[in-house]
């Protein structure tokens, strides 16, 4: 029985069958291929980085690809997760709050993803229970198999239909052996059986330890965890061995023997100086060729397109590594001990630095330690400052002291979300004469609430999913720095994640004192972008949006480009016009598929 006939026999749920495989309209079995990436031994191996890098290589070859992240936690989305535990919350254009790996995929693939690309156990179980209440299971007792696994398979096939992808990359969160992701693994096992041979490729990331006391690499943890994967019915086609140093041949031979994987498909994925060199590392190891062979995609490979994409990327790396000017940007936040909390900001600065020929060093400053008395000393070595998004009152006074210092001393400044709200508060207090200005988030009964809840948020009490989320159009005021920054466009699209906004009651007072609101909502009195005119400050800019979410390696976000240029000028570099800008802007979409390597940014600077 071929896969199409088999699937037709699986889609019914009645007394005559135990199968349950709902199929979305338009799905053609065997048309879409799937690459599934598992993690073994430990979490944090970089499954998302690996998966997105491999997807990028196939995209370079002319194949249409799309990713999906399957998360085991019961949250419906990532919106309520603590940055200390899960890093930043990445927001998609359609408003989905998701894992930071989705940001890696968007940057690597130069794609705008949607909620179809992110699924949690909370979503799966909610959907199953809703269908049960509606009688969709025809009176059957609802079980993990086939109903919950059937819902997972439905999500994967719905994504295949919507994206029209040649290859869907499935990243299963967590580690093999975790209770919470066991049913995801079972679902892809079932689906591989249903789709037939040649349609699934399994890749296992594992970890080869090297205890300092032994002085040699040991593969036993990898062997045992790969056996767990085999016990779940998954026999990997490819194994990528993570390690600090290149994995020795004899170690790879052991792993190949114990996992029943050919030696030429067991690769060393040792540490490198940047995640952005991984695509070329995978090519060098032949992983892309193995996937193409396993999935029977050789006839769809566009070799000239791949060669052009690689050349474009090589040129980009060359420009990046020949950056001449060093500049330091301070990031003032309360999650500075966890760099993943600001992952997209780090990427945005790197992309901007590559564009203008700057090697950017990041200096991390915990806002909880800043005071008016020490702020000048703490910021004496920075050439520009970012106050990123955040919530709550901890560290607020330090951020406001920082904003006042950089405004008065003409140090380039970019405020993001909360960084804009606090900039408005600082300006209101120290320039506009509103001495008691504050946000109702910080001081609920403040007499001069220049920052207040969005009107539509007033009656919402739930914590999750209650913000203004996703992409929204922003109307730019002609003649402002914002309009100039976006090539005098009348309107741009930015992504948001906030509940509070500039209180319309105080806008006239703020504008009369010289503050310019240069980006606004086209339909509501909501201020999205603010700036201090250039004749009063070289670069004092803030936005209610999160511009870091839409940066791309060869299309850096303009607000970050402006900050790095201004920081270069502040450091004494006279020509900070961004000589690469025209070249980057003229790049085609296919040329913008991959992010940049290391060399333009040093994120290892000691915390201040």
What secondary structure does DSSP assign to 436-462, as a single string? Answer: TEEETTT-TT-SEEEEEE-GGGTT---
Query: Does 349 share its domain with 463?
Result: yes
Averaged pLDDT score across all residues of the chain:
88
Query: Does 549 share its domain with 400?
Result: yes
For residue 115, count other CB atoms closer than 10 A to its CB: 16
Q: In whole angstroms, give the CA distance from residue 221 to residue 263.
A: 18
Query: Does 140 share its domain with 82?
Result: yes
Query: Does 227 share its domain with 328?
Result: no
| pLDDT score at 333 | 87
Range of the domain at 455: 324-602
| pLDDT score at 583 | 39
pLDDT at 317 over 90: no
| pLDDT score at 559 | 97
Of 152-166, 294-308, 384-398, 425-439, the least confident? 384-398
| Active-site hit among 417, 472, 498, 531 | 417
| Active-site hit among 71, 280, 548, 591 | 548
C-alpha gyration radius of the chain:
26
pLDDT at 203 over 80: yes
Query: Does 498 share its domain with 561?
Result: yes
Domain count, the chain: 2
**Residue 548 annotated in active site:** yes
Boundary (domain end) residue, out of 313, 333, 358: 313
In-domain check, residue 24 = no
- Domain of residue 473, CATH code: 3.40.50.880
**Residue 405 annotated in active site:** no
Torsion of CA 469, 516, 519, 339, to 10 degrees: -50
**Residue 402 annotated in active site:** no
| pLDDT score at 169 | 98
Query: Does 251 share its domain with 351?
Result: no
| pLDDT score at 453 | 86
pLDDT at 466 over 80: no
Residue 277, class by beta-carbon neighbours within 10 Å (0-12 exposed, 13-18 middle, 19+ buried)? middle
In-domain check, residue 319 = no
Record the tokens describing residue 210, joined without a space: 């090297």
| Digit-coded pLDDT (tens) for 372-421 | 999 999 999 999 999 998 877 888 999 999 999 999 999 999 999 999 99
| Digit-coded pLDDT (tens) for 302-315 | 999 999 999 988 78
Of 52-61, 191-200, 222-231, 320-329, the least confident? 320-329
Which of 72-81, 91-100, 577-586 is the most confident on average? Answer: 91-100
Q: In whole angstroms, give the CA distance from residue 319 to residue 600.
A: 10
Boundary (domain end) residue, out of 249, 283, 313: 313
- Rounded mean pLDDT, 16-43: 88
Closest CA to 99 of 47, 168, 151, 29: 47
| Digit-coded pLDDT (tens) for 327-368 | 999 999 887 777 788 999 999 999 999 899 999 999 999 998
Query: Does 235 share its domain with 330?
Result: no
pLDDT at 588 over 50: no
For the whole model, what pTM was predicted?
A: 0.89
Which distant-in-sequence residues (6+ apart) come within 8 Å of 292 by Cβ? 58, 61, 298, 301
Boundary (domain end) residue, out of 287, 313, 339: 313
What 3-state class would DSSP assign to 27?
coil
Query: Does 531 share its domain with 503?
Result: yes
| pLDDT score at 524 | 85
**CA within 13 Å, CB half, 285:** 25
Query: Does 346 share its domain with 405?
Result: yes
| pLDDT score at 574 | 67
CB 329 within 8 A of CB 570: no
């Amino acid at each position: 029985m071929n896969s199409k006939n088999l699937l037709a026999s699986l889609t019914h749920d009645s007394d005559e069958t135990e199968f349950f495989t709902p199929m979305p309209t338009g799905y053609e079995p065997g048309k879409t291929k799937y690459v599934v990436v598992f993690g073994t031994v430990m979490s944090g191996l970089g499954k998302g980085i690996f998966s997105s890098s491999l997807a990028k290589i196939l995209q370079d070859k002319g194949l249409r690809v799309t990713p999906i992240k399957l998360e085991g936690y019961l949250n419906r989305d990532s919106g309520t997760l603590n940055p200390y535990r899960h890093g930043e919350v990445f927001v998609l254009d359609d408003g989905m709050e998701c894992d930071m790996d989705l940001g890696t995929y968007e940057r690597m693939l130069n794609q705008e993803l949607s909620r179809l690309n992110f699924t949690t156990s909370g979503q799966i179980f909610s959907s199953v229970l809703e269908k049960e209440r509606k009688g969709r299971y025809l009176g059957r007792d609802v079980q993990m198999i086939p109903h919950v696994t059937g819902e997972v398979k439905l999500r994967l096939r719905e994504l295949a239909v919507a994206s029209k992808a040649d290859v869907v990359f499935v990243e299963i969160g967590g580690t093999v052996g975790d209770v919470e992701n066991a049913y995801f693994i079972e679902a892809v096992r079932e689906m591989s059986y249903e789709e037939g041979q040649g349609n699934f490729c399994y890749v296992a990331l594992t970890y080869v330890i090297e205890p300092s006391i032994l002085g040699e690499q040991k593969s036993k943890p990898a062997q045992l965890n790969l056996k767990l994967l085999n016990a779940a019915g998954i026999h990997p086609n490819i194994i990528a061995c993570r390690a600090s140093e290149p994995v020795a041949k004899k170690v790879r031979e052991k792993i190949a023997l114990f996992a029943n994987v050919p030696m030429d498909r067991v690769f060393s994925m040792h540490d490198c100086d940047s995640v952005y060199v991984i695509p070329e590392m995978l090519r060098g190891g032949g992983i892309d060729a193995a996937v193409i062979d396993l999935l029977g995609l050789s006839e769809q490979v566009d070799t000239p397109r791949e060669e052009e994409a690689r050349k474009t990327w090589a040129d980009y790396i060359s420009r990046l590594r020949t950056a001449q000017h060093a500049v330091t940007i301070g990031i003032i936040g309360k999650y500075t001990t966890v760099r993943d909390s600001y992952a997209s900001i780090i990427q945005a600065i790197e992309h901007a630095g590559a564009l203008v020929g700057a090697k950017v060093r990041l200096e991390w400053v915990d806002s909880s330690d800043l005071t008016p008395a020490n702020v000048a000393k703490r910021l004496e070595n920075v050439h520009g400052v970012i106050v990123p998004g955040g919530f709550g009152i901890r560290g607020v006074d330090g951020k406001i002291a920082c904003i006042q210092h950089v405004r008065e001393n003409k140090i380039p400044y970019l405020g993001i979300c909360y960084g804009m709200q606090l900039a408005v508060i600082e300006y209101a207090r120290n320039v506009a004469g509103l001495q008691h200005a504050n946000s109702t988030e910080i001081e609920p009964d403040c007499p001069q609430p220049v920052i207040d809840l969005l009107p539509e948020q007033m009656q919402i009490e739930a914590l999750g999913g209650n913000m203004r989320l996703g992409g929204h159009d922003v109307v730019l005021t002609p003649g402002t720095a914002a309009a100039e920054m976006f090539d005098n466009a009348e309107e741009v699209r930015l992504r948001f994640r906030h509940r509070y906004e500039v209180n319309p009651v105080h806008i006239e007072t703020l504008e009369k004192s010289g503050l310019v609101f240069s980006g606004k909502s086209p339909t509501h009195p909501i201020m999205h972008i603010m700036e201090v005119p250039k004749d009063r400050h070289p670069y004092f800019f803030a936005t209610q949006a999160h511009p870091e979410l839409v940066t791309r390696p060869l299309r850096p976000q303009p607000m970050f480009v402006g900050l790095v240029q201004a920081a270069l000028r502040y450091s004494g570099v006279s020509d900070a016009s961004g000589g690469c800008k025209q070249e980057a802007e003229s790049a085609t979409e296919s040329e913008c598929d991959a992010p940049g390597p290391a060399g333009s940014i040093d994120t290892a600077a000691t915390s201040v």
